Amino acid sequence: MSRKFFVGGNWKMNGDKKSLGDLIQTMNGAKTDPNVEVVCGAPSIYLDFARSKLDTKFGVAAQNCYKVPKGAFTGEISPAMIKDCGVNWVILGHSERRHVFGESDELIGQKTAHALESGLGVIACIGEKLDEREGGITEKVVFAQTKVIADNVKDWTKVVLAYEPVWAIGTGKTASPQQAQEVHEKLRDWLKTNVSESVANSVRIIYGGQFIHSLILSITVHLRSSS
């Protein structure tokens, strides 16, 4: 089954209007393949800025959201607020949200359900830590994380799974293409068994980690130097 390529660039807590404006100008001038979907994960304070400045050929994602539409939750943003900025994607379950801010699988599942119910597309992140890989429990960890997400998904056309081995994010270590592909293949087998064959064949599973972050940076520098 043909799947449209998906490239997501997570800007994390980086940039200001000047530097992001320069990056956006470079991106807007780049030639892109219409068969590739490109989505930029902007800091929440710059969501409106990014969406208003980026060419419509690029999507924008929030880097997080909460599990309810509104309330006394200082510092959080809701899917409704994200959509009000014209943004249609959200990144959920990123390893930094899990391991720096202590978000549980249960909370990530609740956020996924509410984001999808609100009409956002979800880039759902899963991945194991170094001790878990070395302990031989990569599959156990990744499958458990995926199950909580799957339990909260009704429409898989609005979900992208991002396999991000935590040990390959900002550590200098990189997962080989073979290592990433092995996990992707096992994820499709899990989806086939636990969700459906059609979902296993159609859902987009992408890789995130030090390699892809470095690749995006290299492409950006190349575009700037050649413009």
Q: Which residues are catalytic?
A: 94, 164
Higher pLDDT, residue 170 or 86: 86
Quote the percentage of the chain above a pLDDT of 90.
81
Which amino acid is located at 116 in the chain?
L
Domains of the chain, earliest start first: 5-226 (3.20.20.70)
Give the residue, 212 or 127, on which the prediction is more confident: 127
Contact 51, 87 (CB under 8 A): yes
Rounded mean pLDDT, 95-120: 97
R_g over Cα of the chain: 17
Write down the pLDDT at residue 146. 98
Alpha helix stretches (DSSP H) within the chain: 17-28, 47-53, 79-84, 95-99, 105-117, 130-134, 138-150, 177-194, 197-202, 210-226
pLDDT tens-digit profile of 20-46? 999 999 999 999 999 999 999 999 999
Rounded to an integer, what distance in angstroms lies between the CA atom of residue 223 and that of residue 173?
26
Distance CA 186, CA 151 (A): 18
| pLDDT (average), residues 194-211 | 88
Identify the weakest region by mean pLDDT among 66-80, 103-117, 170-184, 200-214.
200-214
CA 200, CA 195: separation in Å to the nearest integer? 8
CA dist list (Å): 169 to 86, 96, 127, 129, 139: 29, 10, 10, 10, 18
72 phi and psi angles, rounded to 5 deg? -85, 75
Residue range 174-200: mean pLDDT, rounded: 94
Contacts of 214 (CB under 8 A, 6+ apart): none
Confidence of residue 107 (pLDDT cuts 50, 70, 90): very high
Per-residue confidence at 169, pLDDT binned at 50, 70, 90? Answer: confident
Please state the pTM of the whole predicted model. 0.91
C-alpha 57/C-alpha 33 separation (Å) is 10
Which pLDDT does position 222 carry in this prediction? 44
Q: Does residue 117 carry a pLDDT above 80?
A: yes
**What is residue 209's predicted lDDT score, i.e. its pLDDT?**
62
Q: What percent of the chain has pLDDT over 70?
A: 91
**Distance between CA 21 and CA 126 in Å, rounded?**
30
Residue whose pair of structure tokens reads 């996924």 in the numeric block = 112
For tokens 């996990």, name the residue. Answer: 183
Distance of CA 177 to the CA centre of its chain: 19
Residues 126 and 109 sit within 8 Å (Cβ to Cβ): no
pLDDT grade for 121, boundaries at 50, 70 and 90: very high
Place of tokens 């636990």: 194
